[in-house]
């Protein structure tokens, strides 16, 4: 690494404990790495959303992009922050998740619609806006955008799938989708 890459690596390791996952890829473009790390730090640590919703948005974007590294790195943090295990399992299996809190349900629906439909209905927007306001929804879109970029990076550059972890998604093995009716254990 050149001096600029070493400087960024030290800053990332200081904030995140180590340089791993997407940062090893992004360091190839120090300017991109610096901006991605800054947005990621805001989305994960500094935005106004409660921690459990920051983690929920990360899991939803990870599942949308089948980003196993992100999912594995955050699933226990999300549960620890208060995302119900049943909701986590539903998201992993691409089923509808249900939350006890009206705010959490509104947040989930808002994220689900923008990720899956690419649009948000007026009703969903109004419900989410009632709970989170304009700033909260802008922060949500920023977080989802960041975590989407993260998933794209992880999959494109085939970042470590953490061999010691159980594959989190029933329809994905390695860096590919399981074709229905095939046996993924056979070569």
pLDDT in tens, 121-173: 999 999 999 999 999 999 999 999 999 999 999 999 998 787 788 889 999 98
pLDDT band at 184 (very low <50, low <70, confident <90, very high): low
Residue 145 makes CB contacts below 8 A (sequence gap 6+) with none
In sequence order, what are the beta bridge partners of 177? Answer: 172
Task: Return the pLDDT at 176.
Answer: 87
Q: Is the pLDDT of residue 187 over 50?
A: no
Q: Is 124 in contact with 106 (CB distance < 8 Å)?
A: yes
Q: Can you spell out the DSSP letters for 120-172? A: --HHHHHHHHHHHHHHHHHHHHHHHHHHHHHHHHHHHTT----TTS--S-TTE
User: In what helix (H) or strand (E) does residue 87 lie, and over which residues does it extend?
Assistant: helix 85-92
**Strand, coil or helix: 27:** coil
Tokens standing for residue 39 = 């947005």
Mean pLDDT of 83-88: 98
Beta-carbon neighbour count of residue 91 at 10 Å?
Answer: 26
Beta-carbon neighbour count of residue 38 at 10 Å?
Answer: 13
- Separation of alpha carbons 76 and 166, rounded Å: 13
DSSP annotation of 67: -
- Separation of alpha carbons 88 and 78, rounded Å: 8
The pTM of the full predicted model, rounded to 2 decimals, is 0.89
Summarize pLDDT for 5-64 with one digit per residue, the tens.
Answer: 999 999 989 888 888 889 999 999 999 999 998 999 899 889 999 999 999 999 999 999
């Amino acid at each position: 690494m050149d001096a600029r890459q070493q400087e960024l690596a030290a800053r990332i390791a200081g904030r995140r404990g180590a340089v791993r996952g997407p940062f090893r890829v992004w360091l190839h473009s120090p300017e991109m790495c610096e901006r991605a790390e800054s947005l990621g730090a805001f989305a994960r640590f500094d935005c106004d959303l409660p921690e459990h919703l920051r983690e929920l948005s990360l899991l939803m974007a990870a599942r949308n992009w089948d980003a196993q590294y992100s999912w594995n790195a955050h699933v226990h943090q999300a549960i620890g922050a208060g995302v119900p295990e049943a909701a986590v399992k539903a998201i992993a299996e691409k089923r509808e998740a249900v939350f006890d809190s009206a705010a959490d349900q509104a947040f989930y629906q808002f994220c689900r619609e923008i990720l899956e439909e690419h649009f948000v209905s007026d009703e969903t927007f109004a419900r989410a806006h009632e709970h989170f306001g304009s700033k909260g929804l802008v922060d949500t879109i920023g977080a989802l955008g960041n975590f989407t970029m993260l998933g794209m990076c992880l999959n494109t550059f085939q970042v470590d799938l953490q061999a010691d972890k159980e594959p989190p998604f029933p329809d994905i093995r390695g860096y590919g989708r399981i074709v229905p009716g095939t046996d993924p254990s056979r070569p």
